Chain A
Amino acid sequence: MTILVLTLLGPLLAALAMFTLRRMPEVLALTGAVFGFAGALGLFVAVSDGVVVSISLPFLPDFPIRLVASPLTATLSMVVATVAAMVLIYAAGYMRKDPERVRFFGTMLLFVTAMQALVLSGDWITLLAAWEMMGFASYLLIGFWYGRAGVASAAMRAFLYTRSADSGLYIGVFILIGMSGTSEIAVTLISTGTPTLVAGVLLLVAAMGKSAQVPLQDWLMRAMAGPTPVSALLHSATLVAAGAILLIRTAPMLPDGVLLVVGIVGGITAVITGLIALAERDLKRLLAASTGSQYGLMLVAIGAGAPIAALLHLIAHAAIKSSLFLGAGVFQHDRDGTGLETLAGAGRARPGIFAGFAIAALALAGIPPLAAFFSKDAIIAAALDSTAAPWLLPLALAGSVLTGAYMGRALNVLWDGDAGPVQVPVPLMTIGMGILVALATGLGLGFGALEHMLGAEIEKPGWIVPAMGLAVGLAGLILGWFVPPARLLGPLLTPAQNGFAVAGGMDGLILRPALAIAANCEAMEQRLLRAQVGTVRRIGLGTAQLAEHADAALFAFSLWVGQLSMRLGLASKFTDTNGIDAAIFGFVQRMIAAGAQARRLQSGFIHRELALTAIGIALIVAGLLAAPYYS
C-alpha cells in the first residue's frame, strides 16, 4: 500500500515543494521522479509475485477513490515512471536556460502524477478525473511559452478536442455505474447487453480523442508548440497513451461490434496519419503524426482481439517515440528549429545522437531484434487471425509500410546535408536519451516474461508473419530514404499536407456551428429582454391608470403592485416617444433632483422602502388575521 501511494505522492509532493520553494527545480524534479520510479518498481515486483495491491480513499458517498496495482496496471505504471524519469533528466539539460523552470518541472510532475493515477485507477471516477487532469496539465505544458504566436491556440485546441471526446467517457461511465451500481472498474467489466454496447462506443469516442485517431487527429500535430520534452512525454507514455490504455483495460467488456469499429478506426488512422507524416515538412510534426499512426496499429490489435499485442506495442512505442523526440530536441537546439529543411544534415554533426535516433527509427519500422519488431509481428498476427482479417490485415500492413517510409525519410533528411559547425556536448540530454534508446533496443527480449506475468502468452507466429513484417518495414524504409514524398504520394500530397481535414475539419464541423449557436442565443437574448421590458412596462402602466381611478380599498389591495406601478406611473410622464430608456433615466434624474443630496436620498430611501415593506407585511398579516372570518 505504501508503495502504491509512493508512486503518486513522489512526483506530487515534489511538484508542491517546487511551487512552494521556487528553487532547485531540477533536483526536486529528479527526486520526485526517482521516488515515483521506486514506487512503480516496488509495485511491479510485488504484483509479479501475484499480489494485488489496492487502496481505497473516501470521495463521494458510495463512490470511494480506488487505486489498484494488478499485473497490467503495475506494468503500465512502470512504463510511465521510466519514461518520465528519463525525459526529466533530458529536460534538465534542454530547459537549462529557461527562466521559468519551476513552472515547467512542476507542471511536468503534476502531469506524471495524473498519468500514474490514471493507469493505477481502480474505479471510473478516478480514471475520469485523472483523464481530465492530464488534459489540463497538457494544456499548461503545450501553452508553456504562452507569449509566442500560435501557442495559446494550440493549447486551447488540444484541450477542446480531447474534452469534446471526453463527454463520451463521461456518459459511458454514467451508463456503466448506473448498470452495476458501483464505480469499480473490475466489476463493470463483466456487464453485457445493449447499454454495454452504447457505453463501449462512447469509450471508443473518448479514446479516439486522446489517442488522436481519425477524425480527431489534428490537435496532436499542433501540440508541437510546447517544449520538446513535453512532446516526448505526451506522445510516448502519457496523454496519447491514455486512449489506448482505456481500450486495453476495457477490452474484455467490449462487444464484437465495437471491437470491429475499434480495429477499423485504428487501421484507417494508421494509414491516414502515416500519409500525413510522410507529407510533413517539420520533424516534430512528422513524429506527432507518426504517434497517431502507431496508436492506430494498437487499436487494430485491440480490434483483432489481442489487447496484449497492443500493450506490447504501447510499451515498445513509449521507449522508441520518446527517444525520437529527445533526439529531435537535440537537433532543434543545434539548428533553432525543426523544419526539415533547417535540419538537413543535422545528424552528421552529432553522430552519437543520430545513431540513437536511427536505432529508434529502425525499431519503429520493425527491424529485428529491436523492440517494435516483436510487437508489430504480434499485431500483424492478430490481424491475420481475426475474423475481420480482410479489413484489418491490409490496413495494418499499409500502416507498417508507411511507418518505414516516414522514418526512412526523416533519417535521410537528417543525414543528407552539410554537417555545419561542431556542437557543444549535451551530457544530460544524452543520458536521458541513451537509456531510452537502450530500452528501445532490448525491450523486445523481455516481452515473453511479461506475457507470462500477465497470464496471456501470445502464440509465436509461424515464419510468414515475421517475414511479412520485415518485408513491409524494409520496403518502407528504402522507399522513404530514396524516393521524395512528392513522388511517393502523388495526388495525395496536398490533402496529406492539409492533414486530411474533412469538411473543414474540426473548425468547420464543431467550432463554427458552436459560435453560430452562441450568436443566435445572443440575438435571442436581446429579443427576450425587449419583450420582457415591454410587457412589464405595459402591465405597469395599466396598473398605474387603474390605481389612479380606483378607490382607496383597491389602492390598499394593490399596495404591493402599487409600489412598482407608482414608479412606472411617474416614469411614464416622461415617456414621449423615447421608450423605456428615456423613461427610466428621466425618472432617475427627477428623483435625484427631488432629493437634496444623494446621500440623504439613499439613506432616506432605505427607511421608506423598509417602511413600505413593513406596511405591506402589516396589511397581509391583517388580511391573514381576518382569514377565519371570510373563509
Chain B
Amino acid sequence: MPLLTLATFLPILGGLALIVLPNRSARVAHGMSIAVTGVVFMLTLVIWSRGTIAGGFAQIEELAWIPAIGAAYRLGLDGLSLPLVLLTSLLFFLSAIYSARISDRAPSYVVLMLMLETAALGTFMALDGLLFYVFFEVSLVGMYFMIAGWGYEDRQRAALMFFIYTLLGSLPLLLAIIGLYLSSGTFDMRVWIDMPPLTGIAAMLALIAMLFTFAVKIPAFPVHTWLPAAHVQAPTAGSVILAGVMLKFGTYGLVRFALQMTPEAFAQAGQVILAVGVVSALYGAFAALAQSDLKKMIAYTSINHMGYVVMGVAVAALTVDLRIRTIALDGATLQMVSHGLVTGALFFLLGMLQDRAHSRDMSEFGGLLGRVPWLGWSFILMAFASLGLPGLAHFPAEFQVFLATLNTAPWAIIAILAIVVTAGLYLRAIAAVFLGSENEKWLEMRDLDRREKLVIVPLLILTVLVGVAPSWLINMIHTTMESLSF
C-alpha cells in the first residue's frame, strides 16, 4: 500500500470532499477535520512501524510524472524526515481538536488546514526537487489565508508581510533547484544527494541561494523579522503549525538540500553559517527578554531554538570527526522535534489563555496559578522544557549540539549564554502571569476543559518522554545520521 501517498493526499481529499458536501455546518467540518487528521496520524504511525534503513531512503513510492525532464512523483523517508512527519501529523491532529470551537467560516478554515497538512507532509517526504518546491510553496499560500482570515487585530498586515517575505525568500531556492537540474538532468533528489552535481563556484552560488531561502524560513537573523509579526497575529492553530511544523521546512531544507547537495561549499561556508546560528540563538534570546507580549516572546525563543539547529548543522559540516558529526546532526534533528512539541504546546496554552482573557500582555495577569492550575502548571512545565531543563525534551538535543560545538569550534559555545537568558525570560513570564497576588480581573477565569486537556496532555507526556528516555526517537535519527551521505 502506498501509505506515504495516502497520508499526504488524504487531507486535501478530505478538504475537497468537504467542499462538495451538501451539509457544511461547522460541526460537520470539524468532525471531518478531526477524523481525517486522526486517520493520517494513524497512517504515519504505521509508516513509522515500517521503519527506515541505514544509508538511504526507505518506503519509496515512485510514479512517472514528466519523464522528458526527469521530474517524477517520488516520495520516501529517512531518519531525518520520519520524525518530522510524525510531528506534523500529531500537531495537525491536535490542532484539529483544538480548533473545534471555531465557528467563523469553519469549512474554509478546515479546508485550509487540511491543505496545509498535505503541503507539510509532502514537503518532508518529497524526493523530487520540483515536487518539493510545489509543496513548499503551497504551504505558504495556505498559511497566508490562515493568518489573514482567522488572525487577530492586525492580521492583514501581518499576513501580507509573511507572504511577501517568504515568497521572495523562496525564489532563490527555485534558482538553485534549476541549477541542480541543469547540471544533472534529473529532479531526483537522491541523485543530487548521492553525487552532488554542482562544484566550485556554481555550488557556492547554489548554496547561497538555498541558505537565503531556508534562513528566511528557519528563521535566522537578520531575516527573521516576519516571524514575530506573523505569530502574534496568527490564530492559535496557525501559530502552532507555523512554529511546530513550518519552521522545520527551513531546518529540514538546510540539511537535506544545503548540506547534502552542496556539501563542499557548505563546509567552506561552515564558520559563517555557524556564526549565523550563534547570533540567531543569542539575538533571539535577548529579543525575547525584551518582550511583554507573551506570544511575541515565544516567537523570539523560536529564533533562539532554531539557532541551535543551525549551529548543529554547521558544526556537522565543519568537523572531521565522524562521531562528533553524528552527535551534532542527532542533536539538530532532535531539536527540531523537541521544538515542535514544546513550542507547539506553549502556543496552544497561550491560545487558551487568550481565549479566556483576550489579552496577551504579561502585565495584565498575575497570580493565576491557583485559579487555573492545569493551565498554569502545564505552562510552567513547558516553559522549563523550553529553557532546556534536563528530563524534558530540549535537553538531550541541546546537550548534543553544544557538546559537538565545543569540540569543533570552541568560540561558538558563547551561545550557551542564551540558556541563562531564556531561563530569565521564562521565569519572569511565569512570575508575572501565574505567581504573585491574584489580579481581581480574572477571578472568574475557568481552568482547562476536557477538549483542551486532550490537546495538551499528549504534548506534556511526549515532552517528558523525549527528555527522560529519548532513545526511542533518537535511535531512528541516529541510524540515518551515522550514514548520512554528504
Contact = CB atoms under 8 A, between A and B. Distances in A.
Interface in B328-360: 330
B468 to A, nearest CB: 9
A363 B296 CA distance: 55
B25 interface: no
Contacts of B171: 560-561
Interface in B447-486: 469-471, 474-475, 478
A170 B105 contact: no
Interface in A447-473: none
Contacts of A620: 174, 178
B403 interface: yes
A147 interface: yes
Contact of A175 (B164, B286, B406, B478): B406
B181 A585 contact: no
Interface string A587-631: 110000000000100110110011001000100110011010001
Interface of A: 58-62, 125, 128-130, 132-133, 136, 139, 143, 146-147, 149, 151-153, 155-156, 159-160, 163-164, 167, 170-171, 174-175, 177-178, 181, 514-515, 517-522, 525, 528-529, 532-533, 536, 540, 560-561, 563-564, 567-568, 581, 584-585, 587-588, 599, 602-603, 605-606, 609-610, 613, 617, 620-621, 624-625, 627, 631
B46 interface: no
18 contacts: A60-B330, A61-B471, A62-B327, A147-B435, A147-B437, A153-B431, A156-B428, A170-B419, A174-B406, A514-B289, A518-B290, A521-B290, A529-B225, A536-B164, A564-B164, A599-B105, A606-B112, A609-B144
B474 A60 contact: yes
Contact of B469 (A59, A171, A536): A59
Contact of B478 (A61, A563, A584, A609): A61
B427 A159 contact: yes
B427 A588 contact: no
B218 to A, nearest CB: 16
Nearest to A174: B406
A58 B403 contact: no
A519 B287 CA distance: 7
Interface of B: 66, 68-69, 71, 105, 108, 112, 130, 134, 137-138, 141, 144-145, 149, 156-157, 160-161, 164-165, 167-168, 171, 174, 178, 181-182, 222-223, 225, 228-229, 283, 286-291, 323, 326-327, 330, 367, 369-370, 384, 389-391, 395-396, 399-400, 402-403, 406-407, 413, 416-417, 419-421, 423-424, 427-428, 430-431, 434-438, 469-471, 474-475, 478
A160 B420 contact: yes
Given A147-B370, A521-B283, A625-B69, A170 B402 contact: yes
A64 to B, nearest CB: 9
B174 A613 contact: no
Contacts of B181: 624, 627
B407 A170 contact: no
Contacts of A536: 164-165, 168
Contacts of B469: 58-59
A567 B423 CA distance: 42
A61 B391 CA distance: 16
B289 A515 contact: yes
B57 to A, nearest CB: 21
A631 B105 contact: no
A522 B157 contact: no
Contacts of B134: 613, 617
Contacts of A160: 420, 423-424, 427
B289 A518 contact: yes
B156 A59 contact: no
Contacts of B164: 536, 540, 564, 567-568
Given A58-B471, A514-B421, A149 B437 contact: yes
Contacts of B391: 129, 133
Given A525-B287, A584-B156, A60 B427 contact: no
A111 B409 CA distance: 36
Given A147-B436, A151-B435, A177 B370 contact: no
Nearest to A171: B413
Contact of A528 (B160, B225, B288, B430): B225
A525 B288 CA distance: 11
Contacts of A587: 160
A603 B178 contact: no
A130 B389 CA distance: 10
Nearest to B326: A61
Given A147-B367, A167-B417, A167-B419, A602 B149 contact: yes
A136 B225 CA distance: 33
Contacts of A62: 323, 327
Contacts of A167: 416-417, 419-420
Contacts of B144: 609
A519 B66 CA distance: 53
A529 B227 CA distance: 11
Given A147-B436, A599-B105, A519 B290 contact: yes
Given A152-B436, A536-B168, A60 B396 contact: yes
A571 to B, nearest CB: 9
Contact of B105 (A129, A155, A520, A602): A602
Most A Cβ at <10 Å: residue of B130, B164, B390, B400:
B390
Contacts of B228: 525
B419 A163 contact: yes
Given A147-B367, A147-B437, A514-B289, A136 B389 contact: yes
A518 B137 CA distance: 34
Contacts of B327: 62
Nearest to B141: A609
A61 B178 contact: no
A146 B181 CA distance: 61
Nearest to A603: B108
Nearest to A183: B403
Nearest to A626: B69
Contacts of B145: 602, 605-606
B369 A146 contact: yes
Contact of A613 (B137, B396, B400, B434): B137
A597 to B, nearest CB: 11
A431 to B, nearest CB: 32
Contacts of B108: 599, 602-603
Contacts of A156: 427-428, 431
B290 A522 contact: yes
A202 to B, nearest CB: 11
Nearest to A522: B290
Given A59-B471, A174-B407, A613 B138 contact: yes
Given A160-B427, A525-B287, A584-B157, A132 B390 contact: yes
A138 to B, nearest CB: 13
Given A61-B471, A602-B149, 15 more contacts: A60-B399, A60-B400, A62-B323, A139-B427, A146-B436, A147-B436, A147-B438, A151-B435, A152-B436, A159-B427, A160-B427, A518-B290, A532-B225, A567-B160, A613-B138
Nearest to B376: A146
B173 to A, nearest CB: 12
A159 B286 contact: no
A270 B17 CA distance: 75
Given A146-B436, A160-B427, A61 B474 contact: yes
Contacts of B395: 129, 132
B427 A59 contact: no
A151 B399 CA distance: 31
Nearest to A61: B478
B435 A584 contact: no
Pick the 4 closest A-B CB pairs, nearest first.
A129-B390, A178-B407, A522-B290, A518-B289
Contacts of B288: 518
Contacts of A585: 156-157
